Structure 1
Amino acid sequence: MSSTRPELKFNGSSDERQYFKKYSQLPEKESTTVRFISHNNHDYFTVLKEDADLIAENVYRSRASIKISNGTQYLSLSLQNFKESLKFCLKNHYKVEIYDSKTFELLNSGSVGNLESLSEEFEIEFDFSDGSNSCIAAIKLGKKIGVCVIEDTEIYFSEFEDNDVFSNLESLLIQLGVNEVLISAKVENNKFLQALEKINNLVVSAVNSFPKDVDQDLSKLLDTENIELTLASKGLNSTDYSLSLSCCGALIQYLDLLNSSKTFTLNKYNLSTYMKLDSSTMKALNIFPSGNNKGVTSIYELFKCKTAAGSRLLSQWLKQPLIDQGTITERQKLVESMIDDTSLRVETQDFLSGVPDITRLLKKISTGMKKSGGENKKLNDVVHLYDTVTSLPKLMDVLNIDYYTTPLEKNQEALARFCELVETTITLDIDAYEDHKIKPEFDASLVEIDGRMKSALESINQLHADAGDDLNMEINKKLKLEQHQVHGWCLRLTRIESVVLRNNKKYQELQTQKSGVIFTTKELKNLSKEYGKACEEYNIKQREVIREVLSLTLTYESVFNSLASTLAHLDVITSFAIASILNSYTKPTLYPFNESARKINLIESRHPLLEVQDDINFISNDVTMDENRFVIITGPNMGGKSTYIRQIGVISLLAQIGSFIPANEGAELPIFDAILSRVGAGDSQLKGLSTFMIEMLETSSILATATENSLIIIDELGRGTSTYDGFGLAWSISEHLITDKKCFSMFATHFHELNKLSEKYSGKVQNLHVVAQENEENDITLMYKVEPGISDKSFGIHVAELVKFPQKIINMAKRKAEELSEEPPLKKQCSPQEVSEGMTRLKEILKSWRANPDTKVLQSTLAGESNKFILEIVNNL
């Protein structure tokens, strides 16, 4: 953070009053919007009122920088601090508005799904914690749901039917990694709004216009004359996809795409191509990082990609697990090839470590075409691309996998002319402090200027040597020559060594920094000016040539994108292989849909995130599920029930992205069409939803979405309401999953009565429990092993003892628990046979009593009966 903060200045008190008055007259904003005021053409910025609090606390980490003027608090920001604040706001899903300080006109605005304009104007790169790109969607409700999604230059159309809880829409937004959605301001469907609110970090923006006639605008974006023909070639038509077209129109207006120079491609998105994941599952399985936790806390962090493109692709694969066995097998074979060849694995990682973000470089070059200034920096980006292409032969020498070598050879051949262009026009052999430039031989006028630059630089180097002799300081080691951003060419000594400059009028001190004292001489100052003037002339002369080089570079954009895609795929596969070796993963056998052999068979399976923690010795467990697809797991708190059911979900997801899994050889898994979870408890007071309501909403979504090919993970269903209501719901939901859905289900619970389901549905339900050993002092040892059978205790009081509850409370809890355990159990209904036998016996007793009407004898006779029906009567006396 910059230590020098600009001051808010006015020409007089009237100007000051006018400034704050204009600010107060701006339209009312939402709490999720932050307004910045730009001064002197982005020289510095201010934020006011609650926005000043937000930036001070989260960016500056101090309120000391806040000032008050005219009764209003404000905070001033340098350009650099403004960029940091901008990143904070957008990463935390605030919308941003930038106004001019004089006219208070809106100069620019942006949101997490609309970063293009801000990124170009302020040359900022936004990186998300899950490695993804900015992605925005528009949604329109009708007889179906119409969706249009835009990510960079890709447009996706999708229309589908959905259930009451909009689970298909939720899956689509998660699969495509949408950051922001546009909806109609007139939407009043509460269930639709609740479905959007469930998705973490999703910004919802309401707009008034969803235009219907967008053919002409879409034609411009797709660069086509016949939009109907283009739609048909993608399996789309304007009649069946009218809602998606209207959504596209809303996005065109919101993003101002008609003023963009980009050409877009259109695709139809099929929701059923990938496994469905709901927002609860994304959170429960820790697929992506949350917060600033140290260490490996998510599946995304488990795999260490070397390139930015690889990280983005990994993020996409985690959101889109495959359901096609052929594609999964293909990825498994590639991982296997990497595991088997150590030399290939090491050389590939070494190569990928030096690969830049090709997509970002192309974007920077494209943006550079629109702006003047800093041309040399833009050439640096071109040279980075050149270096990547020319280093490909090194990779090709060791890479022996046709899946990669074939496209890479095509890319290398297609980019040969690009390499010739760079070698012909750009100086490649430069010093560390220099930027690349156009070769002087390319233009006669550049030769003369280049000669002056070299002559000045030689003289500067000679002055450096002379100063070393004069000050008795070894050059380059002690006496440094460097090109300063403000002072030009100058000399530098450490603070200690700078004592030699005292009382020496030959040398002029310019600035003292942490790195030392910067100083110059009269001759060096003149030479520096001469060199700077020649550089400026050179830059002006080479400007048009550079623009031509940039323009020609962009003609290879599709080839570079293909190269980036191949290298990203190689990066992710290599990261899978390395994680498999480091953590002893194995290749699972997967069974497709509708195959009779579908089963789960995992030997000594582990949770991949817990086992890599430094302070944990993880206990592995077996998982076997075949016809008995519904598993009820009981046992003590903190005994490992939740870990066990979640690790099965994580392992299934890893298998379907093509990774190996944490289990022993012989692992078998079915391919799932969805992983659906009801895990954890928490309310949402701002949305007016209780813990139990959220639990019911998530469970309703599961019941609406699940099929026979799904995996369901449920942890502690029904604890947000009364014991009887909760147990009743847990029982009925379990029965529905067993009899109707017939899917693989894992149910961790403290309702031990649910174990009776295994008696009612023999062969379809299995009871498991986590092992705990209890000694004579009632202390327990958690074994973290899962075994067949049931647990009749939850050991909740033991957990209270672990966290040091007062002993008085512990004793009272134990006493009350014993009292409740002694109460008669819930009455059970007698069978028809028991009722018939009881009625016969009761008639005999009543006849006997009629002959001898002694009440005590009757009560004694009834109490001694063994028939359940008679006992039921006794209990009700």
Structure 2
Amino acid sequence: MSTVTPMMAQYLEIKAAHADALLFYRMGDFYEMFFDDAVAAAEALDIALTKRGKHEGNDIPMCGVPVHSAEGYLLTLIRKGFRVAVCEQMESPAEAKKRGSKSVVKRDVVRLVTPGTLTEDSLLEARRHNFLAAYARIRDAAALAWTDISTGAFHVMTISPVRLSPELARLAPAELVVADRMIEADLRDLASDLGVAVTPVSASSFDSASAERRVCALYGVGTLDSFGTFDRAEISAMGALVDYLEITQKGKLPLLQLPQKEHEDRAVQIDAATRRNLELTRSLSGTRANSLLAVMDRTVTPGGARLLEQRLSSPSRHFDTINERLEAVSACCEDTRLARDLREALRKTPDLDRALSRLSLDRGGPRDLAAIRAALTQAGAITALCDAAELPALLTRALRALEGFGDLLALLDAALVADPPLLARDGGFIAAGHDSELDEARKLRDEGRSVIAGLQQKYAEHTGIPSLKIKHNNVLGYFIETTATHARKMLGEDFSDTYIHRQTTANQVRFTTVELSELETRILNAGNRALEIEKRLYQGLSDAVLDQAAGLTGVARALAELDLATALADLSQAENWCRPQVDASREFDIQGGRHPVVEQALRSQSGEAFIANDCDLTARDGAAIWLLTGPNMAGKSTFLRQNALIAVLAQMGSYVPAESARIGMVSQLFSRVGASDDLARGRSTFMVEMVETAAILNQADDRALVILDEIGRGTATYDGLSIAWATLEHLHAVNACRALFATHYHELTALAGKLGGVENATVAVKEWDGEVIFLHEVRKGAADRSYGVQVAQLAGLPSTVVARARDVLDQLEKTEREGGKQKSLIDDLPLFSAAPPPQPSPKTSPALELLDDIRPDELSPRQALDLVYKLKDAARS
């Protein structure tokens, strides 16, 4: 180590303490990285990798990013799975030199940046929570705690190990903290599937006794009893979260709300596969676009958007909660003028939660104070708007939470300028007249500038050099600058006693005077003093805000509640949604139901109207199952999904896309729709299908709503039919639930006459000369065929393949009718011919006969579609 420079010795010592993270080592205006960190960062960030200096005889790889643009690089690294230790200079180079000419600037890690500990707006999605979760397991008990340090939300719940996957899917945390002894392949696979970063920590972080002390210390209490009753696993999970935050935030703990205990039975249980299939908050492509959330989101504040996603992810199972939310939406639907005015006021409201969090972590600035001022201003305006209105309980409580902040608002209003800078160190954010000491320092600073201008004029006249300027930089301070030509005059005997030479550059010569140096001292002292006063006042304003943090958190929740209610009302009126009736029965009666995402897509792409359909799964003594048949592309999957989505919307407290809806409380929602594989773990499409089906049959209770699509299609025909048959019987006899069961196995339709509560339904089509027209209408009854060949033709299969498929299908159906065997059929069929199909004669044009009497302006969309098929047939003939 004798050959290691002092700076490199410092770097290696700090890096050793944070071996699992990339080290952003502050050197002036850059964060530098060395050795393996530099190699990894350069590749991840696509920046230049250089080599400078030597360490143990080898070149030192290094790269760097500018401090002023570091947040963008941080985001890239976090998204690629890195953790970053931010190492700042704790003193200036000048302060270091006071300790000795060879002293290294003191540096230390001030923060560990991980996926679950982001607070900067530029690193976060404004309209989504960014949860950090911790999973604790003590013997047979387990618990999950989660927090969003950017908003202060803090929750905990006891869960069974089998519920870990559904709860993680519901919360979608950015990071999961677990004890290092619990890192198992299954847990890593689960987290990988859900896109959650797993961080192992020492098992001591989860020690329940130490955990309780940490949580109590966080809130300054001697016991957690006043917050509720928590078991050992819950305390362990909460304490591990607090410990992890102390490690990553280097002692600057965020402003966490009191822990809220949740229960499994308070929300509809929806597993990860069902959330993915229904595309509640993310589409199958993994983006927000084309999800139910994207279609619904008409909120105008970030807090309201986060609340919408939370409600949509966790539909309630409590009648009082559901009805309170529906009453709030109804009130906004009825008083449209008030709702419109509220939305305009809310639109001007900044993100109060995140401004508070940044202030508590000492990462805030004057603009965060201004954001709180703006939020309180709009809160007052909203209270005034609703002064005479009669509102339901939920909105009344929200309005009550907005009151009582007049003194704080007056303080912020008087203290801050209209448009403050981002950082306190920039100064200029305290309004004139707020502090007399600051006003005095500013006056001296500003008048000093005018004196400098006067002094420049004086020196120009004294020397006879009109172009003479007084300038300033951080190295020389104030100086007199003139050209080299004029400088010879100032260096002469007449002026050399007054003007002292400081520096000569390529084109300019710089001087100073005793008078200028004395004035500079006075000006700098005044400017520095003004900035120090502003920093002190900033801290006082921050303390005043944080003293009322609990109440301000209530304001943020209230504003989000108002935003969500008015947004759902706006959506319901614009899209013609109805208020659902949710009760304790086992009914499920939807009249004129629609798929909200598909309906919007049709309207935006083609202007075509969505075909609404009824669904009555009312269960009285046992199961209520619709066995749905019909061709592919007819809309079976859309029908299945839309009814599941209507249940979700109703129980989250929203209006629903239907003419009417009566829903008996749904406890669980299961979906097995679509085809996917998991080749990385050796799971075929069929295996994934069976795993998801098994989860449904093993867990669904009699209040579950289940939608199943094409069970058994991934294997041989008779195997698949047998599995589908047994699955349907199990749903009916054991689960006794409400279900929609779509299938191409028409043999299953016979079960409707044998199993009570099972009914046949089909998606209607119209056949025209061998082709099908999809009517998208669900009717009682069973389909006698799947029209697979016709759909294949629509998909664009070569005409020779379609023709051959028709021949084979005709022979198969004939053989089945006559009781023959497939082997003799195969022997008798002629070989496939790839000859091109016969071309129509150019001399005939039967299509003209169809067109002669057509009046296009009188055609309905359905008639137009029929005409297209007729024209195609005519063209072929």
Partners of 2:333 and 2:403 lie apart in 1 by 29
CA-to-aligned-CA distance 1:208-266 (integer Å, 9 cap, x gap): 41424323223212321235x44xx5123xxxx22333334433443326924446523
Distance of aligned partners of 1:226 and 1:126 in 2 relative to their CA distance in 1, 3 Å threshold: same
Give matches, 1:714-863, under 5 Å.
714-761=708-755, 763-776=756-769, 778-824=770-816
Over 3 Å counting, the alpha-carbon distance change for 1:655 and 1:106 in structure 2 is: same
Aligned length: 714
Query: 1:55 aligns to what?
Result: 45
Match of 1:109 among 87, 91, 112: 112
Distance 2:524 2:340 in 1: 45
Q: Does 1:213 align with 2:209?
A: yes
- Partner of 2:605, secondary structure, is coil
**2:259 maps to 1:266:** yes
SS of residue paired to 1:109: strand
Deviations 1:832-851 (A, max 9, x none): xxxxxxxxxxxxxxxxxxxx
Quote how far apart the aligned CAs of 1:398 are.
Answer: 6.6
Query: Which residue of structure 1 lines up, in the alignment, with residue 318 of structure 2?
Result: 324
RMSD: 4.3
**Residues 1:686 and 1:208: Cα distance change in structure 2 (over 3 Å):** farther
Q: Select which of 545, 562, 583 maps to 1:591.
A: 583
1:23-422 equivalent positions in 2, closer than 5 A: 35=22, 37-40=24-27, 43-45=30-32, 48-49=38-39, 51-56=41-46, 76-79=64-67, 81-91=69-79, 95-96=83-84, 108-115=111-118, 119=119, 123-128=120-125, 131-140=128-137, 142-152=139-149, 153-161=152-160, 166=162, 168-187=163-182, 196=191, 198=193, 200-209=194-203, 210-214=206-210, 215-227=212-224, 229-230=225-226, 234-236=228-230, 241-256=231-246, 259-261=251-253, 262=255, 265-290=258-283, 296-368=290-362, 376-377=366-367, 379-381=369-371, 383-397=373-387, 399-401=389-391, 403=393, 406-407=396-397, 410-411=400-401, 413-422=403-412
Q: Does 1:607 align with 2:595?
A: yes
CA–CA distance in structure 2, aligned partners of residues 714 and 563 of structure 1:
43
Q: Secondary structure at the match of 2:599?
A: coil
Change (3 A) 1:398 1:28: same
Match of 2:637 among 637, 642, 650: 642
Q: Is the 8 A contact 1:399 1:405 kept in 2?
A: no
SS at match of 1:696: helix
Q: Return the alpha-carbon distance in structure 2 between the equivalents of residues 409 and 335 of structure 1.
A: 15
* 8 Å CA contact retained: 1:714, 1:746: yes
Match in the other structure for 2:625: 630
SS class of match (1:587): coil
Distance 1:649 1:408, change over 3 A: closer
**Alpha-carbon deviation of 1:107?**
7.0
Structure 1 pair 348–192 and aligned structure 2 pair: CA distance change class (3 A): same
- For the residue of structure 1 that corresponds to 2:209, the secondary structure is coil
Q: CA deviation at 1:270?
A: 0.9
Unaligned runs of 5+ in 2: 52-57, 90-103, 455-472, 475-516, 821-877
Pair 1:654–1:110, CA change in 2 (3 A): same
After superposition, residues 460-609 of structure 1 pair within 5 angstroms as 536-592=528-584, 595=585, 598-609=586-597
Q: Paired residue for 1:658?
A: 653
Separation (CA, whole Å) in 2 of partners of 1:245 and 1:557: 24
Cα distance change on mapping 1:822 and 1:256 into 2, 3 Å: farther
Contact 2:38-2:49 at 8 Å conserved across structures: no
Separation in structure 2 between the aligned mates of residue 683 and residue 751 of structure 1, nearest angstrom: 22
| Whole-angstrom distance in 1 between the partners of 2:676 and 2:107 | 43
Contact 1:358-1:385 at 8 Å conserved across structures = yes
Distance in structure 2 (CA, Å) of the matches to 1:382 and 1:601: 46
Structure 1 residues 819 and 219, CA gap change in structure 2 (3 angstroms): same
Return the alpha-carbon distance in structure 2 between the equivalents of residues 247 and 809 of structure 1.
Answer: 61
Amino acid at match of 1:112: P
* Deviation of the 1:73 alpha carbon: 9.2
Q: How far apart are the structure 1 equivalents of 2:614 and 2:409? A: 56
String of CA shifts for 1:763-820, please: whole Å, max 9, x gaps: 41111111222222x1211111111122232233333323322333333333333343
Tell me by how many angstroms 1:534 deviates.
Answer: 5.5
Instruction: Find the residue that maps to 1:810 and give its secondary structure.
Output: helix
* Range with bigger deviation, 286-295 or 450-459: 450-459
Alignment partners' CA distance in 1, 2:398 and 2:528: 40
- Listed one character per residue, the Cα deviations across residues 296-339 of structure 1 (whole Å, up to 9, x for unaligned) are 54334422111111111111111111111222112112111111
* AA matched with 2:209: D
Q: Which amino acid aligns with 1:803?
A: A
Partner residue in 1 for 2:829: none
After superposition, the C-alpha distances for 1:148-201 in whole angstroms (9 at most, x for unaligned) are: 333434544433446xxx1x3333334444333233444487666665555x22
Residues 576-615 of structure 1 deviation map (CA, whole Å, 9 limit, x = unaligned): 00000110001112222xx3xx322222211011111212
Partner Cα separation in structure 2 for residue 548 and residue 76 of structure 1: 36
TM-score by length of structure 1 reads 0.72
Report the CA distance shift for 1:413/1:341 in structure 2 as closer, same or farther (over 3 A). Answer: closer
1:474 corresponding residue in structure 2: none
Task: Give the match's secondary structure for 1:259.
Answer: coil
Distance 2:811 2:735 in 1: 40
Partner of 2:674: 680
Q: For the Cα contact (< 8 Å) 1:34–1:95, is it kept in 2? A: yes
Question: Aligned AA for 1:213?
Answer: A
More displaced stretch, 780-789 vs 447-456 = 447-456
Instruction: Flag the 1:660–1:213 CA change in 2: closer, same or farther, 3 A.
Output: same
Contact 1:296 1:612 in 2 (8 A): no
Q: Is the 8 A contact 1:389 1:415 kept in 2?
A: no
The secondary structure found in structure 1 opposite 2:641 is helix
Could you state the TM-score of these two structures normalised by the residue count of structure 2? 0.72
Q: Deviations over 1:515-536 (max 9, x none)?
A: xxxxxxxxxxx99999998654
Partners of 1:182 and 1:653 in 2: CA distance? 30
What SS does the aligned partner of 1:746 have? Answer: strand
Q: Deviations over 1:422-443 (max 9, x none)?
A: 355x155679999764455554
Structure 2 Cα separation of the partners of residues 35 and 826 of structure 1? 74
Give, as a single letter, the amino acid of the residue that structure 1 aligns with 2:405: L
Q: CA deviation at 1:679?
A: 1.6
What is the alpha-carbon distance in structure 2 between the residues aligned to residue 336 and residue 139 of structure 1? 42
CA contact (8 A) 2:346 2:378 kept: no
| Aligned residues of 2:587 and 2:664 also touching (Cα < 8 A) | yes
How many angstroms apart in 2 are the aligned matches of 1:659 and 1:529? 66
Query: Residues of 1 paired with 2:648 and 2:629: CA distance?
Result: 24
CA distance in 2, matches of 1:78, 1:573: 44
In structure 1, what is the Cα distance between the partners aligned to 2:350 and 2:813?
67
Deviation at 1:39, TM superposition (A): 4.9
- Is 2:127–2:302's contact at 8 Å kept on the other side of the alignment? no
